[in-house]
Amino acid sequence: MKDVETRPRRYSRVIILTILLASLPLIVGFSLLVISSFSTEMVTNLNPSSFHLTLENWISVFHGKLATTGGIRAPILRITLNTLIVALGVAGVVTAVSALAGYSLSRVNFRGRKHMMILLLVLHAFPGVALIVGVYLLYRLTFPQSMDIVRLYSFMYVIFARAALEIPMSVWLMKGFFDTIPWEFEWSGIIDGASRITVWRKIMLPLIKPGILAVALFAFLAGWQDIIYVRTFLIDQTLATFIEANIEAEFSHMPMIAAAGTLYLLPTIIFFITAQQLLLQGYSGGIKG
Amino acid sequence: MNVKREKLTTLSFFLSPMAVMVVLFYLVPLIMTVYISFTRMRNWNVSKYLTEFVGFYNYHRLLYMFQHDPTFKAVLLTTVVFVGITLIINVFGGLALALATFFIEDKPASAFRLLWLLPRMSPIAVYSLVWYYFFHGSEIGTLNSILMKLGVISQPIPWGQIVPWGAWSIIIFVNGLVGVSFGMIVFTSALNQIPKELVIAARVDGASSWQISRRILIPMIRWHLLYVLTWQFLSLLTTYPHLFLLVQWDLVNGDYGTTLALYVFNTAFGMGEQDQGLAAAAAVLLSVIGIIGGFVTLKVLKFERMMKRPRGDF
């Protein structure tokens, strides 16, 4: 807080130090993972002697090798691509659906609007595990007979099913962004004879670009980090299921798993560096409703 | 008439995608889950068991297990302890972080907020991996090696296998760090809406940061405290992805690392014998708690009052 100038300076140093101490496990935990990926042995035991700088793990990961010996190979690029497809798919579906619904909840007065908004809140709080049993039965009942499209279908299904989980909060978030746009922009369009749909597309969407970006970013991360839906519905492997499956496998070399984990963490780190303000604002906007 | 029809077309354009998603992935699955809880469904043998009704058999089994099955009792006890303690950590940790970052300069404040968002934003598998190494039962475990260097222990200890408190501590710690960021963000945005004059006036009068927090800031964000408390309660009750990996990787004991939500998931999708009928029955119970909790939350927080009509629509 900038505007309180009467406060003594040294207190803020004490506070910063205290938060730093409280954050130490987080910093240490994540750093050790990243450092281990560049070392021949895991450095999680905090022994400086176990650190020997190497790029071997990363090279092996990109070659899809899991063990220092033996011939087990995993198509890591394909696996990364699968993860990316799911994340982009979820981001696309969530953004499109919430940009549409968010506008009408923010701008159109209709019967049942209030109930719809309450329903969305309740759905957001609804136990996801109660749904997934039913979602899986629906998946089984609609599973295609032809083997050619089975994999495509599992991709489509996991994208839509995972996106559905994000939709209640994203619609609220998007509604919040539409709420901030003055009505005058909209009236000017309507007076010129444009329909609400045209107004939405031509005037409103360009105005809330930051909001759309924030929603897309959160949805992307939700799809990217997911493990439960991916392992339940997707036939192909993603980075999450890859790590899950290999951690206890006897042939896997721990620092390589650390490298795969760091690779998986990369988008999060990139967003942290490039989109800090968007992340912080987006969260507070979404939670305020 | 014409105007009305036009409005209807417009509305269905905007709302139908959402409606389809809600019906397909919330409404229909919910009905199916309730339906499955009345069948003998197991191992996802849909063709054999989908129409085999057993009435309240699965619910009776749950009741029986509640009385006699030590594993299920452990799961319920774990749920209560996990939700209770993690909730307290989340709310007070979030409040402490929000207040602390409120009193320091903007730059370090946003850096810390960002850092605390990391657990929520990083992939679940990576986040669990970090703590897997941290609490690992061998000498590669960070906690073990710290304690061994300090001379507190001579042998590495498999912390997660110490029941109940070892396993509980780990799941509470891992989920606690994820949940703190929610409170932090809500409280931070609430604190920023408080007029700065109040804080400045108190400062001029010589109040300390602690007094300002205690007498001015906290009373002014009471609504947000309640909001985080109730909302976080619901989400802790239903969370399971992090716990799933910790149990799957054998870092924590299976019985005392499993909450009711994870129990439902593992019974329906886990390794070995799957029993979807039983899982669905437990899921229905969980949903009933969730729905009641949700509506109580909405009533207590008076959400309806916040929903104003769009003022410019005609």
**How far apart are the C-alpha atoms of A41 and A159, rounded to whole Å?**
37
B191: closest chain A residue by CA: A1
A121: closest chain B residue by CA: B294
Do residue A241 and residue A100 come from a single domain? yes
Cβ distance of B29 and A134 shorter than 8 Å: yes
Lowest mean pLDDT, pick from A195-199, A279-283, B56-60, B296-300: A279-283
pTM (predicted TM-score): 0.88
Do residue A162 and residue A118 come from a single domain? yes
| Partner A, chain B 60-99, Cβ-Cβ below 8 Å | 97
- What is the DSSP secondary-structure string of chain B? -HHHHHHHHHHHHHHHHHHHHHIIIIIHHHHHHHHHTTB---TT-HHHHTT-B-TTHHHHHHHHHHHH-HHHHHHHHHHHHHHHHHHHHHHHHHHHHHHHHHTS-HHHHHHHHHHHHHHHHS-HHHHHHHHHHHT-SSTTSHHHHHHHHTTS-SS---GGGSTTHHHHHHHHHHHHHHHHHHHHHHHHHHHHHS-HHHHHHHHHTT--HHHHIIIIIHHHTHHHHHHHHHHHHHHHHH--HHHHHHHHTTSS-TTTT--HHHHHHHHHHSSSS--HHHHHHHHHHHHHHHHHHHHHHHHHHTHHHH-PPPTT--
Lowest mean pLDDT, pick from A229-243, B67-81, B261-275, B292-306: B292-306
Total tally of structural domains belonging to chain B: 1
Mutate to test the interface with B, among A129, A135, A175 (most CBs of B within 10 A): A129
- The mean pLDDT of B241-259, rounded to a whole number, is 89
Do residue A104 and residue A158 come from a single domain? yes
The pLDDT of residue A190 is 82
Q: Which residues pair with B39 in a beta bridge?
A: B53
Confirm whether A42 is domain-assigned. Answer: yes
Cβ distance of B102 and A1 shorter than 8 Å: yes
Q: Is B261 on the interface with A (CB under 8 A)?
A: yes
Confirm whether A282 is domain-assigned. Answer: no
Q: Is residue B217 scored above 80 in pLDDT?
A: yes
DSSP A53: B
Do residue A135 and residue A111 come from a single domain? yes
User: What is the percent of chain B where pLDDT is above 70?
Assistant: 96
- A252 within 8 A of A60, measured Cβ to Cβ: no
**Cross-chain CB nearest to A100 (options B17, B113, B141):** B17
Cβ distance of A132 and B268 shorter than 8 Å: yes
- What is the DSSP secondary-structure string of A210-277? HHHHHHHHHHHHHHHH--HHHHHH-SS--HHHHHHHHSS-TT--HHHHHHHHHHHHHHHHHHHHH-HH
User: What is the percent of chain A where pLDDT is above 90?
Assistant: 21
- The mean pLDDT of B26-50, rounded to a whole number, is 89
The pLDDT of residue A100 is 93
A187: closest chain B residue by CA: B312
Higher pLDDT, B209 or A288: B209
The pLDDT of residue A289 is 32
Express each pLDDT in B78-90 by its tens digit.
999 999 999 999 9
Q: How far is B162 from chain A (nearest CA, A)?
A: 20
Q: What is the CATH number of the domain that holds B281?
A: 1.10.3720.10
- Measure CA A155 to chain center: 17
Domain that holds residue B177: 48-303
The pLDDT of residue B25 is 93
Q: What is the CATH number of the domain that holds A90?
A: 1.10.3720.10
**How far apart are the C-alpha atoms of A91 and A89, rounded to whole Å?**
5
B116 contacts on A by Cβ (under 8 Å): 23, 26
Confirm whether B252 is domain-assigned. Answer: yes
Cβ distance of B306 and A289 shorter than 8 Å: yes
Q: How confident is the model at residue B279 (pLDDT cuts 50, 70, 90)?
A: very high
Q: What was the ipTM of the complex prediction?
A: 0.86
The pLDDT of residue A167 is 93
**Cross-chain CB nearest to B117 (options A138, A226, A279):** A279
B144 contacts on A by Cβ (under 8 Å): 45
**Cross-chain CB nearest to B115 (options A23, A36, A107):** A23
Confirm whether B256 is domain-assigned. Answer: yes
Cβ distance of A197 and B241 shorter than 8 Å: no
The pLDDT of residue B9 is 86
Express each pLDDT in A211-224 by its tens digit.
898 889 889 999 99
Total tally of structural domains belonging to chain A: 2
Q: How far is A137 from chain B (nearest CA, A)?
A: 7
Do residue A93 and residue A137 come from a single domain? yes
**How far apart are the C-alpha atoms of B295 and B264, rounded to whole Å?**
23
The pLDDT of residue B20 is 94
Q: Is B140 on the interface with A (CB under 8 A)?
A: yes
Do residue A56 and residue A80 come from a single domain? no
What 3-state DSSP class applies to A65?
Answer: strand
Cβ distance of A160 and B10 shorter than 8 Å: no
* C-alpha dihedral sign at A71, A77, A81, A83: positive
Cβ distance of A97 and B298 shorter than 8 Å: no
The pLDDT of residue A237 is 87
Confirm whether B216 is domain-assigned. Answer: yes
Cβ distance of B29 and A196 shorter than 8 Å: no
The pLDDT of residue A275 is 78
The pLDDT of residue B6 is 81
Do residue A126 and residue A19 come from a single domain? no
Confirm whether A68 is domain-assigned. Answer: no
Confirm whether B31 is domain-assigned. Answer: no
Q: How far is B274 from chain A (nearest CA, A)?
A: 12
B208: closest chain A residue by CA: A7
The pLDDT of residue A288 is 38
A185: closest chain B residue by CA: B312
Q: How far is A105 from chain B (nearest CA, A)?
A: 8
Q: Is A213 exposed, middle or buried (0-12, 13-18, 19+ CB in 10 A)?
A: middle
Mutate to test the interface with B, among A34, A45, A204, A244 (most CBs of B within 10 A): A45
Cβ distance of B123 and A265 shorter than 8 Å: yes
Domain that holds residue A23: 9-61
Q: Is B197 on the interface with A (CB under 8 A)?
A: no
The pLDDT of residue A68 is 59
Interaxial angle between packed helices A76-107 and A209-225, expressed in degrees from 0 to 180 and rounded to the nearest 10: 140
The pLDDT of residue A66 is 64
Give how far Cα A166 sits from Cα of A100, A120, A138, Å: 15, 11, 19
Confirm whether B205 is domain-assigned. Answer: yes
Confirm whether B37 is domain-assigned. Answer: no
Confirm whether B163 is domain-assigned. Answer: yes
Q: Is B264 on the interface with A (CB under 8 A)?
A: yes
Pick out chain A residues at pLDDT < 50.
Answer: 1-3, 6, 286-289
How do the residues of chain A divide into helix, strand and coil, expressed in percent and rounded to 5?
Answer: 75, 0, 25
Confirm whether A262 is domain-assigned. Answer: no
Confirm whether A204 is domain-assigned. Answer: yes
Confirm whether B273 is domain-assigned. Answer: yes
Q: Is B188 on the interface with A (CB under 8 A)?
A: yes
Do residue A49 and residue A95 come from a single domain? no
Do residue A88 and residue A197 come from a single domain? yes
Q: How far is B111 from chain A (nearest CA, A)?
A: 9
Q: Is residue B162 scored above 60 in pLDDT?
A: yes
Q: Is A210 exposed, middle or buried (0-12, 13-18, 19+ CB in 10 A)?
A: middle
Average pLDDT value over all residues in chain B = 87
Confirm whether A252 is domain-assigned. Answer: no
- A23 within 8 A of B114, measured Cβ to Cβ: no
Q: How confident is the model at residue B35 (pLDDT cuts 50, 70, 90)?
A: very high
CB pairs < 8 Å spanning A and B? 326
